[in-house]
Structure 1
Amino acid sequence: MASIKELDYLKIPLEDIKLATNNFSDTCFIGQGGFGRVYKGQLPISSSTTRSGKPTTTVAVKRLDVKGGQGQHEFLIEIVMLSSYKHDNLVSLIGFSEEGDEKIIVYEHEVRGSLDKYLATDLTWVQCLQICLGAARGLNYLHSVLFEVLCGRLGMIGNYDDERRFLSHLARLRFEEGKLDEIILPSIRKQIKTNSLQIFSRIAYQCLEMDRKQRPTMALIMEQLQTSLEFQIGCRRMTRIGLWGSSTGGSPWSSQLGSNQKLRKIMIDHEDWIYSIGFTTEEFGASSCQELKWAKIETNHPINFDANEEITGILGTVGVTTGRYAGYIVISSLCFMTNKTRHRPFGKETGTPFSVPWELGSFAGFYGRAGFYLDGLGCYLKATI
């Protein structure tokens, strides 16, 4: 990693910064950053002097609170990161100052300000998704030549304020209870489409994993946000939802409904875990049906659907096998919701729960992985008008 010595070309005299911010005057104060106060100022474009008559540029000056936990290591990381990489979705670094007890980072001033100014305003859901996508694109850009940097910064979650920690806990709780609607802004709740919400909330929930190894990659986050946006604006026709369970166990399988097909029956073989699953589909207007199976079904527990009955969601749990074949991550239970009823939980409801509802008419099939057990399960959904 570079040292401050190697970044001398970015140094700005403390005197210049004080003059630019009127000695950190309250009149120049524009916000509280993660580790210090932020001021707006006018800094000369050329040379390190603030003599009058020089052209200036508007900057945001973050004066780090050295008592608040920001040490030399984090200070250096931020400078190296922003000086080495440029991206439309990353704030631009102007320079820094480190004199005496002062640690100051100078950024290009963003005219629109920070996100927190807009959260309480009437942003549309499409605008919210575009903001999240922009942030994800910037992080995705960093996530690849700077992985260690991001992991180090993720470890500083304890410095977040109490309100943010409370919101994370509340969001996790409401998501697991299936009551996320209770904490969504009313203006957003009125306009958001079900598929868009489910995709967005699921990836957001995964980002709250305490173990950062279990958090999704920024590439996956960006992909899911893009899908959520496409569902909201109506240009997405099909997407995968999931995968719950293992992403490596067994072999992949897929059962996607054609435009003229309908799901008529599901067959499940289970004890404490789901061993296998099969589907019977029917072409509209035809008397024949096709049966699709993965793994051997020895004990058939069928779900027969009425002519006008459709799946509108699934519930389940992901567990770990015990006994002779112990240690496999599998689907331990499944429950299917339809527009008419709820078909009982199959298997043993133990492990980590998952659930996803969707709009009537948007179900388009299942996919997953299977070997000795049903290792993983996901859904195909199509957009609804």
Structure 2
Amino acid sequence: MVRFGLTVMEALLEEYNYLNMQLEAIKSATCNFDDRKVIGKGGFGKVYEGILSHSKGNATMVAFKRLDRNYGQGVPEFLKEILMLSRYKHENLITLVGFCDENGEKILVYEHASNGSLDRHLSSTTLTWRQRLKICIDAAKGLRYLHDPKETQQRVLHRDIKSSNILLDENWNAKVSDMGLSKIGPANQMHTFLVSNVVGTPGYIDPLYMDTYSLTKESDVYSFGVVLFEVLCGKLCFEYNNGRWQSLVQFWKKCYKQKKLTEIIFEDLKQHIDPSSLETFSDIAFQCLQKSRERRPKMSNVVEKLEIALLFQEISEDCEEIGKRVVPPLVYRYNEELKMRLSEGFLFNGGKTISNGLP
């Protein structure tokens, strides 16, 4: 187990001094932190957008996250975010462009995710099931990388996986963000076990984490399972009833077990989801929410099942398109044969084997 004290992190931060940005440049880009530039608020403070000019004359749209201690997070989270995003780089993790630590201001500068966070699009009637699957796959790959980075012996536990921490760029590629609460642990153990104060967001937190104060990578898996159900249901995992916030997770699990998914699926998706895609997706989402951590899948398994769900959906949509031009019974037989081969296991993507069945 690895713990970073504040002084240790500050010393390590000198290594990343090349990312340091001048406060005046940030003020200029945000029109002195004009509220009209605000694109979001979170556990850190306000997030602004602005155009950052470079010495070579180029300009880039970026996002500035400005520390506000009134929001509950502070210097440790600021330093942790810089260290994590500098050390762990992946196409499905948000990229840190720079930071500012000047005149009492602490600001993080990120690549700009122009489509905002996933939570804002859950109820979108234009976001197709196919697009939703791709977003889930991207986010799952980012989390898989954190749990099992290839070039290091240390795995990262995010601790605050939720739809508002999954950002979407202009091409709807998903990127996991907000590493300020993450923990580092050894990757050579079956389970990373850390005793810690419970942090995270109600509704997404692993119940075992709350009960036992023990944190494992399976805690992130649970949180991701909640996100998967949000994507399917088109709403956040909690709602306001009778003067208090109530979690929907237990109700969603109940509907799954009783085979009543149609009661909770986002209405605009119902007519477009391929049944095999839905079954594969909901199965892996439910497994993520298992009470026993041993029964929850690894993120590598989650990625694999989501890719199968996407493949089922693509086959269904392609066959529907073909069906407009050929004899319907022929399309039906073609569709069913492909699905049968998928369920039995076959080679695709240059020889990769998809395992048969669902665990």
Alignment TM-score, normalising by the size of structure 1: 0.53
What per-residue deviation string (whole Å, max 9, x for no partner) do you get for residues 206-247 of structure 1? Answer: 333466665422211100100111122228xxxxxxxxxxxx
1:110 is aligned, of 113, 125, 132, to 113
Alpha-carbon distance between aligned partners in 1 of 2:74 and 2:43, rounded to the nearest angstrom: 13
Q: Which residue of 1 aligns with 2:26?
A: 17
Question: Residue in 2 aligned with 1:201?
Answer: 282
Q: 1:25 to 1:213 in 2, by over 3 A?
A: farther
**Alignment gaps of 5+ in structure 1:** 48-53, 236-358, 368-377
The answer to whether the 8 A contact 1:87-1:138 is kept is yes
Distance 1:153 1:81, change over 3 A: closer
Q: Tell me how far apart the structure 2 counterparts of residues 109 and 4 of structure 1 sit (CA, whole Å).
A: 23
Choose from 219, 223, 230 the match for 2:311. 230
Equivalent in the alignment of 1:187: 268
- Tell me what 2:301 maps to: 220
- Any residues of structure 2 matched to 1:114-263 within 5 Å, and which? 114-121=117-124, 122-145=126-149, 147-150=155-158, 153=182, 156-158=199-201, 164-165=237-238, 166-209=247-290, 214-234=295-315
Q: Does the C-alpha gap of structure 1 residues 171 and 65 become closer, same or farther in structure 2, counting only changes over 3 Å?
A: farther
**CA RMSD of the aligned region, Å?**
3.5
Q: Do 1:33 and 1:62's aligned partners in 2 also have CA atoms closer than 8 Å?
A: no
Which of the two has greater helix per residue?
A: 2
Which residue is 2:350 aligned to? none
- Matched with 2:332 is none
Give me the whole-angstrom Cα distance separating, in 1, the residues matched to 2:80 and 2:88: 12
**For the residues of structure 2 that align with 1:38 and 1:211, how far apart are their CA atoms?**
37
Task: String of CA shifts for 1:84-116, please: whole Å, max 9, x gaps.
Answer: 233322221111123455432110112333323
SS in 1 for 2:113: coil
Flag the 1:63–1:191 CA change in 2: closer, same or farther, 3 A: same
Superposed CA deviations along residues 174-209 of structure 1, whole A, max 9, x for unmatched, are: 323332221211121111122211211122223334
Distance 1:73 1:167, change over 3 A: farther
Q: Distance in 2 between matches of 1:18 and 1:40?
A: 11
1:73 aligns with 2:81: no
Q: Secondary structure at the match of 2:65?
A: strand
Residues 244-323 of structure 1 correspond to what in structure 2 (within 5 A)?
Answer: none
Whichever residue aligns with residue 306 of structure 2, its letter is: L
Which residue identity is paired with 1:36?
A: G
> Are 2:47 and 2:64, in contact at CA under 8 Å, matched by a contact in 1?
yes
Counterpart amino acid of residue 302 in structure 2: I
Deviation at 1:126, TM superposition (A): 1.1
Find out whether 1:87 has 2:90 as its counterpart: yes
Which of the two has higher C-alpha Rg?
1
Deviation of residue 160 (structure 1)?
A: 6.7
**2:67 and 2:74 in contact (8 A); partners too:** no
**Equivalent residue for 2:17, pick from 3, 8, 11:** 8
Q: Contact conserved, 1:38 with 1:61, CA < 8 A, in 2?
A: yes
Aligned-residue sequence identity (percent) comes to 43
Match of 2:60 among 57, 60, 64: 57
- Equivalent pair of 1:34/1:160 in contact (CA under 8 Å): no
Query: In 2, are the aligned partners of 1:77 and 1:149 still within 8 Å (CA)?
Result: no
Q: Name the SS of the counterpart of 1:147 in structure 2.
A: strand
Deviation at 1:159, TM superposition (A): 5.7
- Closer/same/farther in 2, CA of residues 112 and 69 from structure 1, 3 Å limit: same
Query: Deviation at 1:161?
Result: 9.1
CA distance in 2, matches of 1:210, 1:39: 39
